Each structure stands twice: as C-alpha cells, then as structure tokens.
Structure 1
Amino acid sequence: MTLSARHAAAVLLSLAVGLAAVPSMAFAQKPPPPPGHGDGKPPPRPGDGNPPPRRGDGPPPRPGGGGDVHESAPASSGARTIVGEVWVDNWFRLYVNGVPLVEDSVAYKSERSFNAERFRFNADLPMTLAFEFRDFMENETGLEYIGTRRQQMGDGGAIAQFKDAASGKVLAVTSRDWRCLTVQAAPANASCADERKPDVSKANCAPVRATVASDWMAPGFDDSAWPKASLHSARDVGPKGGYDRIDWDRSAKLIWGPDLKKDNILYCRLTVGG
C-alpha cells in the first residue's frame, strides 16, 4: 500500500471511531416547538386556564369578591321592578315583606369580604325592607384574627339604595329613617383585644345579646321601640372593595349601630311607600 493509501485508511478509521463515540441521543428527533411557533396555534394568553397565584393575600378573588359589583336577579313577584344596591362590611341578608330575597354573595366567614351587590327584583308598594347586617367576628368575643399579631376588634358599616328600574327614581336609601337594633355587641371592654387568650367567660370579653321575635322582618312587626340608625362618615367606616363602583345618591348614608367596633350583628328595617 502506498503512503497516500495508508493516509486515507487512517483518516477513515479515525472518522469511524469518532462517530461511534457520539451518543445516540444526538440523532434523536428534536422536541416540537411551543404553541404559537409554527404549529398554526396562537400562544396561550395570560388568564387562560388557571390564573397565576397572587402574592400575600391568598387565592384570587371569586365572582362577587374583592372590588367587584356582583349582579343578580332573585326570583320575586310584583308590579314594580326595582334595582337594589348594597355595600356592607361585612355581610348582609335582605328580606322584602318578610320573605328572604338576597344575601351577600361572599360568605360571612371570608376574611376580606368587601364587595358590592346589585340586584333587580319585583315588588309592590308599600314594601318592608329588613336587613340582617353582620360584621366579621371569629367568635362571641367579637374579635378578629384571634391568636395573631393582628388580633383586634372589627368595625362595621352599611349603605344601600333602591331605585325604580323604569324611571330611575330613588325609592329608599339608608338614613336616619331606618330603625336598627343591635342584636350582638362584643367585647364588653376594648381591653379584651389585648388578651393572649380572649375568653367570653371573662367580663371584659363578654358579649351582649338582645332577644328578638322570630318575625322581626315581617311587615306587621312593631319596630317603634328600636332606636334609629346611627350615621357614620366614610372616613370612620373606610369603605372599600366595590363601594366606589356604585353611583350612590347623595341622600344615601352609611349606617350602623352607635358603636362601629362593638356592634357586630344588627337588624334594620324600613317600610317604603306606606
């Protein structure tokens, strides 16, 4: 074999050895391109499927929570169509003429239950509006975030308006005209919020409860002995989460019991068009 032939054989042998050393995965098929890169499908958009988790405040808000205005049309009967709008810290149930009509779409035990409600219903005048209002409390002490550094007394507040759907005329708003009875108030003394283990059996943490007839929401119930609603400023209540999404009539006022912090459960009534 000539020198050139030997040189060519050596080159071929070296090439064969090099190819044998290359991993078989080098010849494997490449993975398909991501969606939107050559397969004719658009890339996924933010919000498709499950939304990304939010930092610091738990799961994303559900419909009716956060800063939303939750809209509904509960079943009802009557010649007049009415639009009701309500914001409450923390929760409400509304009766019309003694019959349950609508309640807050965010559960009472939600930590941040700030939202507004708008609902359309039918009724005849006169009609009796009766609200059950509740501020969030973990137990009968009336406190929130018990056992944490945020342990405190809560504070409430509510505002509502009712308009004729056809004309837009205001039929009723929350004001001093409402009668509101505090059904549960606690704690007896603000020092309860400083207790390491607040206990309703202690005098400073004890609640006060009123006895109320079961038909308190009925049109014929006599509420003349109930005190008038107490008015509170937006600065004191600090409304948020849906409150600014409602165009409140100037006559609509924030109401509650006389004590924003201690009054936790209230019953409030008004007869419209009587």
Structure 2
Amino acid sequence: MKNIFNLLTVTLLIFGCAEKKSQTKELANSSETIKYNGTASITQGIATAIAEDIYSCARGRKTDVGEITSTDGKKWTVPAQTNYTNNDFPFAADLFNSCEGKNYATTQEALSHYDDSKIIEVDKDGELFTAYIFADNYFEMYVNGIPVGKDKVPFTEFNSSMLKFKAKKPFTIAMKLVDWEEHLGVGCEANRGKSFHAGDGGMVAVIKDVQNNIIASTNENWKAQTFYTAPIIDLNCTSEEGNYRYSKNCSAEGGQDGSSFYALHWEIPTNWMQTIFDDSNWPNATTYTNQTIGVDNKPSYTNFTSIFDASENDAKFIWSTNVVLDNEVLVRYTIQ
C-alpha cells in the first residue's frame, strides 16, 4: 500500500558553483518555494569540497569528497561516507587496474600475484572463498559484518578486483556501492558534451570456492536500497511506495549548469552490514545488461568474461531501481 506522507513545503536557497573549486554559496535574493512528498532530506546545488584527490590516476577523473547541508539542517557527505582512507579497512587485490599498471590478461595471471597473507579470516576454521568484482565505480564489501575488501580506484579508470576470505556457511555479504561524481552533491560529471551529465552505476560479483565452483553471483535475488539520488531537476518526479524509492519518472538529461539541481538523501542504518540486520523490506536488486552498463569496451571486464559471463552461471549487473540517478546503494545477500 502506498504510504501517504505529509506534504512538506520548504524554502530552498539556490546554490551556485564557483568556477574552479566546488563550494556552496547563496545567490543573493534568490529563493523559491518547492513542494516535496517523501521521506528524504533535500539538498540543492553544489557541495563544498572537504577532501581532494583521495586517489590519483593519470587518466582518471578527480576523486574529491564533499559536504552539503540539507534543508532540515543535516550534513551529508557526498558522494558517500566511505572507508577509503581508513587503514583498518583492507583493500581488495587487483584483477585489473591500469592506473597502477596491473593490466592482467587472465584470471590466472592476476591470481599469481595474489598475496595469500592478505586473506581475511571471518571464521578461522571456515572455507576459503574468492570474490571477483567489477564495480562502477566503487565498492566496500563485508562478510558477516567484517570488512573483507574495498575498491582501490574510487572513480576511473575502470578497474576490477578480487579478494579472498575464510568463512563458514551460511554467511551474509553486504556491500556499499558508490557511483562517484565530478560535481559534488548533484551526481554529475562532464561527459557527452554536457558539463553536468548524470553518470551511471552497476556492480557484478562472482564468488567461488576452492574447487573453482561458483557458489553465488549477483542477480535479482540480492537486496538493494538507494540512499542518495541525484540529479533531480523536478522533485515532483519522485515517488515512494513502502520502502521503494522511485525516480524512474525523473529526467536524466543533465545540462550545462547544475547549480539548481536537487538531491535526495536518506540516513543509512548503523548496522546495515551485520548478519542480524533485517533487509526483508528492502527491494530486490534490479538487474541490468552488459550493454546498459557499457562494459563491452573495458578490458577490466572483457578480460574476465569467463568468470562474469560464465555459461553455467552468468552473473548479472545489479543496482537499485535507477542505475543512473541512484548514486549510493547498499546491497545484501546471504549464501546458504
């Protein structure tokens, strides 16, 4: 049954973007009254950069992090609050990473460079598993609430990763997925002739046992929920139904000026990565084709189609219901 929310009327100050550095500022004498019917916090305009170039790649996009305040006074980190600079959260190993010259042609070549001292023991006497992951753009992965690996490249160039862990079945995989952004706070990047183009996400994963059998891969049975949606040009295009957060009727056209674009933010549950977290009311993941995500020209994917597109178990790209506008997505799946 569709939830009916009290109609909120909020006055938003229109924010502008300085020419060379992301910052939030008020445009004098500019305000408008907008109506929004939903549970999210609302921001408008460009966020203030609080960290620049957390990772550097010669041909990659800038990997900045920003902060912005919503109309209800809450502060939000964009594109997401991550553990990228947290030394206690391990990095995944490279399956393919052209930023660092790890241009492996085969899975076997990549595995030959794996340092087994980096295997994460969720359960000391558990079975050994290997996860292979391609994320557009960034991921952090937990098993039973234990960090087992994060992406080395937050944005571009496109890379793929692998990680090993020991665990007892059943175990729960939980992942934070982030579609990074060049224009902080509005989910946009310069692309395809537009200064503010809405980028897309997508993640595919395959988990194998020591016998090289696929025990799990991403599909529609995973759970997926969005917590940051942008750019939103017209707030009336969004809707909610139970725990479904829809932006399917929203434009993804972008433009040359994103200073008036909105964003929707939801608070992330503190225990979302734990086994005990109840994800039963989250939507199932939406699946997407290779063509929709656009990986057919990316060697970080095409070099490993024997894994990701295995004939006996073809893994699916997953995301929330909007792979373009939803920028921070949590996914979960329990392997029995």
Deviation at 1:185, TM superposition (A): 0.8
Query: 8 Å contact 2:223–2:332 — kept in the other structure?
Result: yes
Alignment of 1:217 onto 2:273: yes
Distance in 1 (alpha carbons) for counterparts of 2:177 and 2:136: 8
Could you tell me which of 202, 213, 216 is aligned with 1:169? 213
How far is 1:193 from its partner? 2.1
Q: TM-score, normalised by structure 1?
A: 0.69
Deviation at 1:216, TM superposition (A): 0.2
Which of 179, 187, 190 is matched with 1:142 structurally? 187
Distance (whole Å) between structure 2 residues aligned to residue 91 and residue 65 of structure 1: 19
Instruction: Give, in whole Å, the separation in 2 of the partners of 1:213 and 1:61.
Output: 33
The aligned counterpart of 1:16 is none
Structure 1 residues 100-137: Cα deviation after superposition (integer angstroms, max 9, x where no partner): 1101121x2x4x23111122221111111001111121
1:86 corresponds in structure 2 to 133
- The correspondence of residues 98-247 of structure 1 with structure 2, limited to 5 A, is 98-106=145-153, 108=154, 110=155, 112-138=156-182, 139-145=184-190, 149-165=194-210, 167-189=211-233, 190=251, 193-196=254-257, 198-199=258-259, 202=260, 205-239=261-295, 240-246=298-304, 247=306
Report the 3-state secondary structure (helix = DSSP H, G, I; strand = E; otherwise coil) of the residue aligned with 1:151.
strand
- Provide the C-alpha distance between the structure 2 equivalents of 1:229 and 1:63, rounded to a whole number of angstroms: 33
SS in structure 1 of the partner of residue 254 of structure 2: helix
Instruction: State the SS of the aligned residue for 1:145.
Output: strand
Partner of 2:93: none
What per-residue deviation string (whole Å, max 9, x for no partner) do you get for residues 209-264 of structure 1?
12221110000000011100001111111122411122223331111111121011
Local SS of the residue matching 1:213:
coil
Q: Distance in 2 between matches of 1:206 and 1:152?
A: 14
The answer to whether the 8 A contact 1:180-1:268 is kept is: yes
Aligned counterpart for 1:62 among listed residues 86, 89, 100: 100
- Distance change (3 Å), C-alpha of 1:133 and 1:68: farther
CA distance in 1, matches of 2:159, 2:60: 17
The alignment yields a C-alpha RMSD, in angstroms, of 2.7
Amino acid at match of 1:152: H
CA distance in 1, matches of 2:149, 2:60: 27
The sequence identity of aligned pairs, in percent, is: 26
Task: Answer whether contact 1:181 1:267 (CA < 8 A) is retained.
Answer: yes
What is the letter of the counterpart of residue 330 of structure 2? Y
Q: Are residues 75 and 83 of structure 1, via their aligned partners in 2, closer, same or farther at CA, if it must alter by over 3 Å?
A: closer
Return the alpha-carbon distance in structure 2 between the equivalents of residues 63 and 100 of structure 1: 26
How far does the alpha carbon of each residue in 1:185-227 deviate from its partner, in whole angstroms, 9 at most, with x for none? 101134772143x22xx3xx11111222111000000001110
1:128, 1:270 within 8 Å by CA — same for their partners in 2?
yes
The Cα offsets for residues 119-164 of structure 1, whole Å up to 9 and x where unpaired, read as 2221111111001111121311000139x85531101111001010
CA distance in 2, matches of 1:218, 1:191: 34
Mark the CA change 1:265 to 1:171 in structure 2 (over 3 Å): closer, same or farther.
Answer: same
TM (norm. structure 2) is 0.57
More helix as a share of residues: 1
Stretch moving more, 215-224 or 256-265 = 256-265
- Matched to 2:229, the amino acid is A
Question: 1:67 & 1:206 partners in 2: Cα distance?
Answer: 42
Structure 1 counterpart of 2:303, which letter?
R
Partner SS for 2:225: strand
Secondary structure of 1:61's aligned partner: helix
Q: Which has the larger radius of gyration?
A: 1
Residue in structure 2 matched with residue 259 of structure 1 by the alignment? 322
In structure 2, stretches of 5+ residues that fail to align are 1-57, 62-97, 234-250
SS state of the match for residue 283, structure 2? coil
CA 1:217–1:153: 2 relative to 1, 3 Å: same
Asked whether the 8 Å contact 2:196–2:256 carries over to 1, the reply is no
The size of the alignment, in residue pairs, is 208
